[in-house]
Amino acid sequence: MTHGDAQISKRLEELNQRINESLKRANRDASDFTLIAVTKRQPLSHLESAYGLGLRHFGESLIQEGILKVKALPEDIHWHFIGHLQKNKVRRCLQAFEYIHSVDSLSLLERIDLIAAEERVCPKIFLQINYALDPDKYGLHPEALPTLLEATLEKSHIDCVGLMGIPPLSAEGSDIDAYFQGMAELRDSLKARFPNWPGLLSMGMSADFDKAIQAGSHFIRIGSLLFGEREL
C-alpha cells in the first residue's frame, strides 16, 4: 500500500465512523444511504485507491474530466454528474453519467429527455432546488416544483429519483439545519401528491453532511474529507 493509499484508507475509515454515528443518531439504516466520492481535480491514483477500498459511487462536476475518468476506471462504478449542466453538453453527459443531480429548468429537462431517447439511455435525475432563493445558486424555486415534477414524471426517457439542494455559503449552524429540514418537508409534500415518486434527497457535503443525514439525505457528496485537498 502506498502512502497515498494509506491516507485515503484512514480518511475513509474515519468518515465511515462519523457517517455510521450520524445514521445511528437519526435512527436510520445504512441501506438507504450512499456516499458519493467527489473526484474533481483528483488524480486517477486517488480514485483507484477509493475503488480498491470498496467505493462505487463517484461524482464529477466537469464533463470532460469526468469522461476521461469514466473511460479509465472499471465499468461497475456509478457515475454522478454534480455540476451545473449546460444544454450543449447534455449528450456528452448522458454518454458517461448514470445520475444527474443538477436539473434546474424545464428546457434542460426536455433537452435531456430528447437526447436520452436518441442515446437509448434513461438517466436518474435530481431536480435542483434553490430552497433559500439564494441569488448565487442555481436551482428551481420551490413554488415551481410541483408543476415541473409532474412534467418530469411524464417523460419516457428520464427517471426522476429526487431533489438536490445546497445551503447558501453564508448559512451556519441552525440555518443549515433549517435548510435541510425545509428540503425534507418540501419532499414530503410532493410525496403526498406523487406517492409513486421515490423522493430521494441529495444534500450534504464535507462541512455539513451530519446535518444532512439527520434531515434524511440519501446521498452525500464528499471530496476533501476523503481525498484531502485537490492536487490538480
What are the tens digits of pLDDT across the range 222-231?
Answer: 999 999 876 5
The distance of Cα 210 from the centroid of its chain, to the nearest Å, equals 15
Write the single-letter amino acid at 104. Answer: D
The distance of Cα 27 from the centroid of its chain, to the nearest Å, equals 22
* Backbone angle region of 54, left / alpha / beta, with phi > 0 → left and psi within -120 to 50 → alpha: left
What are the tens digits of pLDDT across the range 60-98?
Answer: 999 999 999 999 999 999 999 999 999 999 999 999 999
In this prediction, residue 158 carries a pLDDT of 97
**Is 169 a residue whose pLDDT tops 80?**
no
In this prediction, residue 229 carries a pLDDT of 77
Residue 39 to residues 72, 205, 215: CA-CA distances in angstroms? 13, 13, 25
SS3 call for 174: helix
CA distance 34 to 56: 10
The distance of Cα 112 from the centroid of its chain, to the nearest Å, equals 17
- Structural domains of the chain, with CATH: 3-227 (3.20.20.10)
pLDDT bucket at 135, cuts 50 / 70 / 90? confident
pLDDT bucket at 45, cuts 50 / 70 / 90? very high
Q: Using the structure block, give the residue that is written with the C-alpha cell 434531515.
A: 215
Write down the pTM of the prediction.
Answer: 0.95
pLDDT bucket at 3, cuts 50 / 70 / 90? low
CA distance 45 to 26: 34
In this prediction, residue 231 carries a pLDDT of 57
In this prediction, residue 138 carries a pLDDT of 87
Mean pLDDT across the stretch 138-154?
A: 92
CA distance 108 to 11: 37
| 139 vs 100, more confident | 100
CB atoms within 10 A of CB 219: 24
